[in-house]
Amino acid sequence: MEFFKSNLNIAFLGKRHAMVAAVLSAALVTTSLVSFFTRGFNLGIDFTGGLLLEVAYEQPADLGDVRSALTTGGFPGAMVQHFGTDKDVLIRLPPQGKGSSAEVSTKALSALEGKAKGAVQIRRVEFVGPQVGDELTEQGGLAALYTLIGILIYLAVRFEYRLAVGAVIATIHDVVITVGVFSLFHIEFDLSVLAAVLAVMGYSVNDTVVVFDRIRENFRKMRKGTPVEIVNAAMNQTLSRTIMTSATTSLVVVALLIFGGEIIHGFALALIIGILVGTYSSIYVASAAALALGVSREDLMPVKKEGAEADSAP
């Protein structure tokens, strides 16, 4: 196809494009950080503890009525949402203190039946204790931290430090924006979403490494051209690979989002956001950061060993 010809010469990091990208990234990251500290996260019961009920109504259920019935029945603060159809409702109850999950679910069912039009049936009950939720929160945070440390070590060994720092900045950029969407729109954040965030970190690094490998090769092969021109050439050369990888991966994840059901909705959504942001950052964030740090041909040329010239002499 014409679009994927190797002689593309798109000025990805021209002054105008670079400025627009910098403003966009700064706005997205700032919005995400503000949302973290003001709105927080809509944590699932995996982290907060509590009781999850999947309830089936005989007639279409009004969420306002369901919420009102639970409040009247002694369950204030319950989170209610439709689950698949308008007759299926997912209810999340905060920790109730004393009482087994069977007792609490029976009490909740009685409260719902008091205001329901028709029969109400509980299809699923899941309970997570507050202590388990706290442990999962701590372990989830440590998992993300250890993953980032591992990425830092790998990049430090693989690349010259300016490229390594650029890749780390891009990874943090992707994670902050992906998680920021969940905070901003108050989408439930559970263990499956955390797993998707960790996957996004790996995807972001993989995409950036491909671009950076080509940048390193071009700095060593291209005798003419400024650092910006050499980096632009590398991104044009890897553009077809970047787009095809993102497109094929996105097809699978979109299928999961549409047909996978409510259980993996958050997981699929986090991956879609991460793929889009990761593709963008590998072009406009990682490379721009490396250039801002002053990467040059001299930094990426192979180091000559002492005495190499003497050894090669006849």
pLDDT tens digits for range 83-140 = 778 888 888 887 766 667 778 888 888 888 877 777 888 888 887 766 666 677 778 7
Contact in structure between 281 and 174 (CB atoms under 8 Å): yes
Domain with CATH 1.20.1640.10 in the chain: 2-41+133-300
What topology does CATH give the domain 50-128? Alpha-Beta Plaits (3.30.70)
Confidence of residue 181 (pLDDT cuts 50, 70, 90): very high
Q: Which amino acid is at 151?
A: I
Model pTM?
0.77
**Residue 217: Cβ-neighbour burial (10 angstroms; 0-12, 13-18, 19+):** middle
Contact in structure between 62 and 82 (CB atoms under 8 Å): no
The rounded percent of the chain whose pLDDT value lies above 90 is 17
Confidence of residue 302 (pLDDT cuts 50, 70, 90): low
SS3 category, 50: strand
Sign of the four-CA dihedral 64, 92, 103, 119: positive
First-to-last CA distance in the chain? 51
CATH architecture for residues 2-41+133-300 = Up-down Bundle (1.20)
How far apart are alpha carbons 80 and 34 in whole angstroms?
26
**For 257-287, how does the pLDDT look when each residue is reduced to its tens digit (9 = 90+)?**
888 777 788 899 999 999 999 999 988 898 8
Q: At what angle do helices 239-259 and 227-237 cross, to 10 degrees?
A: 50
Neighbouring-strand partners of residue 89: 55, 82
Domain with CATH 3.30.70.3400 in the chain: 50-128
